[in-house]
A and B are shown apart, each in its own frame.
Chain A
């Protein structure tokens, strides 16, 4: 990648809480090329959403703060620019779809007004023009009878339709990078597939780059080019999606893979990873995944693992595990 659209380098985000400071995102780096789709995967509290918020300049302040690293978008470091200026890229260059469409839409404004305000406030369009464009967009994202529903309020839509409204809003000004944070988590199964299909479709049409955040490795499988797994704010494995899924080199990824139900496969028992998600207040020494890991040895307690090339594809696939080769051998052996 000679000229990535987005390059995040050593990003660190911390939250001050009553009990002390926690590091929600710990030296995370990744690149994203134009038109590429990256899946950021991990369980609750792994820092994937906060990473997205940091890119959008939406880390909740004053409790949360980006304390280190760079976020280089199209050649400029967003973190060196004043927040009000960086935010101007939101909507036009960067856009975001959130996980809970009901609470993410303003309950007292008509959906048409919420979509249209992008044209009115950001492009100086007239009220009538903004409304016409809002209808067009709602139509495009598959909301039936858009011309009639443009004057409805969010609570009058179903969950799936609300998420379509969110997507319409994100796409309005044709951004080059779309971040979708658990876009289907709050929806039921049939709707999930429709929304994912819509996102894949729109991405191809607009040639957008996309960051797809999910806890569910299955959901992103058909859409993402690359995958990045996060645990306790750190990147534990990253590579092309096929590599990560087929030649898994981190026990955490392996645990997550084992917990995906296969729709057409035999009805095996799912294997949960033992133990609870990490408490960011009290991380263990060395590797944060250690207490839940079957491969853990003494070195895991004394030395935090760093990202290292995985022998099968050293140019792109990397994992942060002292026992990566053992995991890989086990995975390949089946």
Chain B
């Protein structure tokens, strides 16, 4: 930035007109706080976004935990009399199929709640693993610098310039479908964001004096990382994790849709949607309703992530 356009207010010497020709003289610009968004009640809208999306996410979590207990789902059971019933049908056994039944007579709602359990578990597990890998890489990279930093960051560059779904498909195709494998695959394609955020936090903190002060007091590296650097990095990492959670759940659904995700014994949403494809003309609900359920959850995480980011760290926008 050209320093003559800087809006840092001149300090106590401001009224000394600089000697003719000093290019850094005081300049007259509109007040620095003038912002087109000024006056918008950011706080209120932000809070509403956070609360609203949290409520939706909470509903899903409750459904995932409690749902399968209330509405038993057995992945291998079939009930041919009850197959392909539209939403709201009273089934022969007396129960109500709110979202209809699928091609083998399974209740779609029961499947969705079971699917929520799988998807949320996979999503959270992936973030924990990816977060561990990424935060460690970012810490090491930012703290020690040097060749290690160079190697890790080039690796991150390469991975970012490579379509992650391809990498995931490739690894998943070799490892085969299983919940653990899906978590591994998605973690490998998601560590980079965590690494980058952590690294930039570490670099920023290294510049600040309080870390310096701790260092001069003779604190060890480990102490410095756990007491100064990690606590300050928590907020941005959590924001990133929220944003990424939606992406991970979407990616898991895509893999499962392709038959590369969770196995048939633990069906996730992607698989239910894939199964419904063959019955589009006579049973639209099998694919459509789980898709809406999935979309609402992903949107909620997106809104929540955006709101948290705006609130805690607007600089993360560029990440």
Contact = CB atoms under 8 A, between A and B. Distances in A.
Physical contact A–B (CB less than 8 Å):
yes
A217 B9 CA distance: 20
Secondary structure class of chain A's binding surface, majority of residues = loop
B17 A260 contact: yes
Q: Quick one: which of B25, B28, B30 has the most chain A CB within 10 A?
A: B28
Given A44-B9, A188-B21, A273-B15, A103 B2 contact: yes
Given A63-B38, A99-B4, A188-B21, A275 B31 contact: no
Instruction: Name the residue among A218, A259, A274 with the largest chain B CB count within 10 angstroms.
Output: A259
Contact of A18 (B2, B11, B33): B33
Contact of B28 (A102, A182, A217, A274): A182
A43 B31 contact: no
Interface of A: 15-19, 22, 24, 42-46, 48-50, 53, 60-64, 99-100, 102-103, 181-182, 185-190, 192, 213, 215-219, 255-256, 259-261, 263, 270, 272-277, 280, 292
A280 B16 CA distance: 20
Interface string B9-35: 111111111111101011111110111
A256 B14 CA distance: 11
B29 A44 contact: yes
Interface of B: 2, 4-5, 9-21, 23, 25-31, 33-36, 38-39
A44 B27 CA distance: 5
Contact of B15 (A49, A63, A259): A259
Contacts of B12: 272, 274-276
Which secondary structure dominates chain B's binding surface? Answer: loop
Contacts, number: 127
A15 B31 contact: yes
A99 to B, nearest CB: 6
A189 B9 contact: no
B34 A17 contact: yes
Contact of A48 (B9, B28, B33): B28
B26 A63 contact: no
Given A45-B28, A186-B23, 19 more contacts: A15-B30, A15-B33, A17-B31, A24-B31, A43-B28, A44-B9, A46-B28, A60-B30, A62-B36, A186-B4, A190-B21, A192-B20, A215-B26, A215-B27, A218-B17, A259-B16, A261-B20, A273-B15, A275-B12
A18 B14 contact: no
Given A181-B28, A280-B31, A17 B38 contact: yes
Given A216-B20, A277-B15, A18 B28 contact: no
Contacts of B16: 259, 270, 272-273
A19 B33 contact: yes
Nearest to A61: B36
B21 A17 contact: no
Contact of A15 (B25, B26, B34): B34
Contacts of A19: 33
Contacts of A24: 30-31
A217 B10 contact: no
- The residue in A44, A46, A270, A272 that gathers the most chain B C-beta atoms within 10 A of its C-beta is A44
B169 to A, nearest CB: 40
Contacts of B31: 15, 17, 22, 24, 45, 280
Given A63-B34, A100-B5, A185-B4, A44 B13 contact: no
Nearest to A62: B36
Contacts of B38: 16-18, 63
A50 B29 CA distance: 8
A277 B35 CA distance: 21
Contact of B17 (A15, A100, A215, A276): A215
7 contacts: A15-B33, A17-B33, A43-B26, A63-B36, A272-B12, A277-B14, A292-B15
Q: Which 9 A/B pairs are nearest by Cβ-Cβ distance?
A: A189-B21, A17-B33, A273-B15, A49-B28, A272-B16, A44-B26, A63-B34, A259-B17, A186-B4
A256 B25 contact: no
A64 B35 CA distance: 9
Nearest to B13: A272
B91 to A, nearest CB: 58
B20 A188 contact: no
A46 B27 CA distance: 10
A153 to B, nearest CB: 17
